Structure 1
Amino acid sequence: MHLKDTTTGDIMKSLAKLLHEVGGASGLALNLVALTTEDEREEVEKAASFAAQEHPYRLIMAIPRDLEATEARIDAEVTVGERLGSAEAIILRLDGPAAAHLSSIVLPMLASDVPVVTWWLLDPVRYGLEQELRSFADRRITYSARANDPVQSLHRRAETYVSGDTDICWTRISLWRSLIASAFDGVTHAVEKITIKADDDDPSAQLMAAWLHTRLGVAPEIVDTTVVRNSEHLPAIASVAFTMAGGETMEVERKADGTTVLRQAGLPKRRQTLQGRTLGQLLAEELRHIDPDTAYRRVLETIRENAGERAGV
């Protein structure tokens, strides 16, 4: 259902009408508010449709349009099911002051008594909407790799972190973290040196280094490396190598085809495949955990502390 130059009240009446036609609302797990551009809309819809298979939710997609317009205008599309699967969806195109006051528009549209997650691929700072998106959400999902300066964006996350923040770049390394953690079962000597071969402009590599520093007490060296990936949603990490106090070594290396090899002194090589997951799979993983991610918080604290030490603070 398409609505031109509409109001919040008319949008909600249209949603209620559609829900009545399909037999009423199903049990919603959460609200997902996504900030995107028209160019990214299809990608966001595809990811949201996949994630909705696990998490029935109300999707409110906000697309800032003509920011210079003097008159506020809202054009909307309201759907239930259809191309977005099990999601109830409201797609908003916002002009002028309507884009600047996102929270006042979105709040009346939220399903009651379920958590609110905000998600954005773009950098909301360019629209002046960062605080708007933070103000009403229980959880906030960013994607630092999509920013103009990915590492700077990650550092801003570290400086402004509040409980409930997370990042798709953190989700991208969850399989790496699981593999490394399992490799340390039975390791008795302390780690003396860690070397990460990675694109040092990749926020996932920075998060990996901070996570290892947090867990093992050793600051890894990132060796800037060109990494061949078959998906942009893979972390740009080629290998992570460890040297133990007893002289033993251990290395996890991922090849371009996704084959990942664990080499550990005294043990046969272990192989598995780490292929790039889709954005929908990464979003679905994030939505499984609404509670604050304490591991991510500690990693951002390490990033902030290390940045302060480098700056001589």
Structure 2
Amino acid sequence: MHLKDTTTGDIMKALEKLLHETGGGASGLALNLVALTTEDEREEVEKASSFAAQEHPYRLILAIPRDVDAAEPRIDAEVTVGDRLGSAEAIILRLDGPAAAHLTSIVLPMLAPDVPVVTWWLLDPVRYGLEHELRSFADRRITYSARAADPVQSLFRRAESYAAGDTDICWTRISLWRSLIASAFDGVTQSVDSITIKADDGDPSAQLMAAWLHTRLGVAPDVVDTEVERNSEHLPAIASVAFTMSGGETMEVERQADGTTVLRQAGLPKRRQTLQGRTLGQLLAEELRHIDPDTAYRKVLDTFQEQYAGSRA
């Protein structure tokens, strides 16, 4: 259902009408997902949201700032239930002028009651003056620093302004790497003397990997800037992580261009598995499984912030 130059009240009446016709309702929703995007990214965000909605039924409110310099506020909306967005209830807002600057007052009446609110954005909200707006009403906030013009600097800004409930897709991208490395240390009794990460040092995921290993093992890794061939932008730009133990033994996890990942460990046969890039929808779905603040991410982000600030001093 398309609504031109409309109001919040009319949008909610349209949603209620569609829910009545389809027999749906907010009682079955797990959360509200408020996403900020551009028209160019809309299709990608819709596709990711549709995938994640299979696991987490939610009300999606997709806000697209349009002519932000317009003198008069205007809201055009599309309201759907199911359809191309799967099991999600969806309100797509295109906002002009002052309407774009007052996102909170527009979105709050649209939220399904008594379920958490997650905000998600791929673009830099500072460009639209909306960072505070997106933070003010959310239980969780999901960013994607790798999409910024300066990804590592963007992650550093996230660290400086961290609030409980913040997370970043760049952290989610390394969950498979972290699981593989943690399992490799099962049964290892020696301490680690040194760690070398071969990675693109401009990749926030590589920086978070270094900070995670530092917090877990008490050793600051040496990140060797390396050109990494990837078959998906959602893969971390990490080629290998190598450890030297206190007794001189070594262990290395190396990912090849085709996704084959090899674990080499002294005294043991090579172990192989495949690490391929997941889709944005899969990464979003993983993040939405955790509504409580991610304390592990907070600790790692603090370590990254300290290291990054020290490197610039």
TM-score (norm 1): 0.99
Q: State the shift of 1:197 in Å.
A: 0.4
Q: Secondary structure at the match of 2:40?
A: coil
Counterpart residue number, 1:80 = 81
CA shift digits 1:51-72 (9 cap, x unpaired): 0000000000000000110100
Gaps of 5+ in 1: none
Counterpart residue number, 1:190 = 191
Q: Which amino acid aligns with 1:137?
A: A
CA distance in 2: counterparts of 1:135 and 1:24, whole angstroms: 29
CA distance in 2: counterparts of 1:34 and 1:95, whole angstroms: 17
Q: State the shift of 1:242 in Å.
A: 0.4
Q: State the shift of 1:23 in Å.
A: 1.0
Counterpart residue number, 2:126 = 125
CA distance in 2: counterparts of 1:4 and 1:38, whole angstroms: 17
CA distance in 1: counterparts of 2:274 and 2:134, whole angstroms: 36
Q: Which amino acid aligns with 2:41?
A: E
Q: State the shift of 1:307 in Å.
A: 3.0
Q: Does 1:16 align with 2:34?
A: no
Counterpart residue number, 2:207 = 206
CA distance in 1: counterparts of 2:292 and 2:39, whole angstroms: 31
Q: Which amino acid aligns with 1:18?
A: L
Q: State the shift of 1:4 in Å.
A: 0.3
Q: Which amino acid aligns with 2:161?
A: T
CA distance in 2: counterparts of 1:243 and 1:132, whole angstroms: 47
CA distance in 2: counterparts of 1:309 and 1:285, whole angstroms: 32
Q: Secondary structure at the match of 2:92?
A: strand
Q: State the shift of 1:22 in Å.
A: 0.4
Counterpart residue number, 2:229 = 228
Q: Which amino acid aligns with 2:191?
A: A
Q: State the shift of 1:107 in Å.
A: 0.4
Alignment of 1:1-313 (within 5 A): 1-25=1-25, 27-312=28-313
Q: Secondary structure at the match of 2:307?
A: helix
Q: Secondary structure at the match of 2:177?
A: helix
Q: Secondary structure at the match of 2:75?
A: strand
Q: Which amino acid aligns with 1:30?
A: L
CA shift digits 1:195-237 (9 cap, x unpaired): 0000111000000000001111111111111111111000000
Q: Percent identity?
A: 87
CA shift digits 1:113-149 (9 cap, x unpaired): 0000000011111111111000000000000000011
Q: State the shift of 1:311 in Å.
A: 4.6
- CA RMSD after TM alignment: 0.8
Q: Secondary structure at the match of 1:40?
A: helix
Q: Secondary structure at the match of 2:243?
A: strand
Q: Which amino acid aligns with 1:127?
A: Y
Q: State the shift of 1:304 in Å.
A: 1.7
